[in-house]
Each structure stands twice: as structure tokens, then as C-alpha cells.
């Protein structure tokens, strides 16, 4: 058993792909045409961190209820955790790519951490080893 995908609701597929692939360095695994239950066009867009098993399904908001969830999928809490081997190098690359960090890097018992926002405004932890 494994967790295959999680969904992040976004405003725009292409902007989200640009962020996850360009700024975060994820791989674009799939971008296929699909249809909603009532026959309207949508896309099946999956991105995944290099070497990761769990992917992120980027789902464009469809309707007012979903639009309200963009950027607030976990009620303002950190809801996503990106573990990296080379924390400082990845942090610097993300800053250079324009990723918005809302906390500076700090060391906690569970590792190095800095909180950043994704393209939709969801909060993520960038996590590295506790040792520098």
C-alpha cells in the first residue's frame, strides 16, 4: 500500500505547472485532457518531486466552493512537507526562483525548516536534516 496522489486546488493549470516544475523543481509526470462528470473539459495534471513516490494532482477550481479552497486547503496550517537532502542549496535555489518564504530557516528537533507558500497560497514546510 502507498499514498499515490494528493490534490491541490489551483486557479490555473499552467501557472501551477510553472511553479511546481520551474520554482520547486518537480517533474511533470502527466498532463492529459479529461472531462468533468458533466462533460466539460479539464486536465489531469500530475507533478512529483524527483525520486518521490507521492505525486501532486493539480486540479483547477471548478465552481465557487472549490475556488474558496484555493490557498486554504488546510485552514491556514502547514499542510504539505517537502523533505530535501541539501536544505541550504534547495532553499537558496527556491529563493532565487521567487518562492515566497514566510519564515526564515530555523533548526527544530525534527530538522531544518522554513515555511513557504505555493502558487495558490498554501503553506508548506521545506524540511532538511537536523544536522548541518
Structural domain for 108, as ranges: 5-128
The gap between the terminal CA atoms of the chain, to the nearest Å, is 33
As for how many domains the chain has, the answer is: 1
Q: By the 8 A CB rule, do 42 and 61 touch?
A: no
Q: What predicted TM-score, i.e. pTM, was given to this entire model?
A: 0.92
User: How many CB atoms sit inside 10 A of residue 44's CB?
Assistant: 13
CATH number, domain at 73? Answer: 3.10.180.10
What tens digit of pLDDT does each residue of 50-102 get?
A: 999 999 999 999 999 999 999 999 999 999 999 999 999 999 999 999 999 99
What tens digit of pLDDT does each residue of 101-110 get?
A: 999 999 999 9
Amino acid at each position: 500500500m502507498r499514498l499515490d496522489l494528493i490534490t491541490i486546488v489551483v486557479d490555473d493549470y499552467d501557472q501551477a505547472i510553472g511553479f511546481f516544475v520551474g520554482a520547486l523543481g518537480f517533474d511533470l509526470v502527466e498532463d492529459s485532457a479529461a472531462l468533468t462528470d458533466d462533460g466539460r473539459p479539464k486536465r489531469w495534471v500530475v507533478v512529483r518531486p524527483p525520486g518521490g513516490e507521492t505525486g501532486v494532482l493539480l486540479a483547477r477550481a471548478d465552481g465557487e466552493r472549490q475556488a474558496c479552497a484555493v490557498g486554504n486547503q488546510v485552514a491556514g496550517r502547514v499542510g504539505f512537507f517537502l523533505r530535501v537532502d541539501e536544505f541550504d542549496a534547495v532553499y537558496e535555489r527556491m529563493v532565487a526562483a521567487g518562492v515566497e518564504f514566510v519564515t526564515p530557516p530555523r533548526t527544530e528537533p525534527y530538522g531544518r525548516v522554513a515555511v513557504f507558500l505555493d502558487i495558490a497560497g498554501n503553506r508548506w514546510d521545506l524540511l532538511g536534516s537536523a544536522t548541518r
